[in-house]
Amino acid sequence: MELRGKQKRYLRSQAHHLQPIFQIGKGGLNSAMVVQINEALEKRELIKVTLLQNTDEIAEEVAEALKADIHCEIVQIIGRVLVLFKPSSKEKYQKISKEVKAI
């Protein structure tokens, strides 16, 4: 699902008040973290991931790796903070994705 401009704007407004729930540190992005991020996206649909100062990772590269691995949408990258969106496959968690489809 490719997001349009208005949809991304809506998701950015929803993500503004969220706290980052994942931090990528000097260990970098590993397969266990990718699985956890995918599970969190399944439940929440919209999350923030932050890269700590001591990591060698680059935000754009991490975002592209996550997009390729778990097929999520990159809503926004500001500095070291990524905002990711993926519609949930379970209907009881599809609150944000229903609103995004209506836009």
Give the strand pairing for 46-51 and 73-78: unpaired
Q: Residue 103: inside a domain, yes or no?
A: no
Q: What angle do CA 45, 49, 51 make, to 5 degrees?
A: 170
Q: Residue 102: inside a domain, yes or no?
A: no
Q: Which amino acid is at 70?
A: I
What's the domain range around 65? 5-97
pLDDT tens-digit readout, 27-46: 889 999 999 999 999 999 99
Please name the residue ranges forming H helices in the chain. 5-15, 31-44, 59-70, 95-102
pLDDT tens-digit readout, 50-99: 999 999 989 999 999 999 999 999 999 999 999 999 998 888 888 888 88
> In the prediction, which pLDDT does 13 show?
94
> In the prediction, which pLDDT does 46 show?
94
Angle, helices 59-70 vs 31-44, to 10°: value is 70
For the chain, what is the domain count?
1
pLDDT tens-digit readout, 47-60: 999 999 999 989 99
Q: How far apart are CA 23 and CA 9, in angstroms?
A: 24
CATH number, position 27: 3.30.110.60
Give the strand pairing for 22-24 and 73-78: unpaired
Q: Residue 90: inside a domain, yes or no?
A: yes
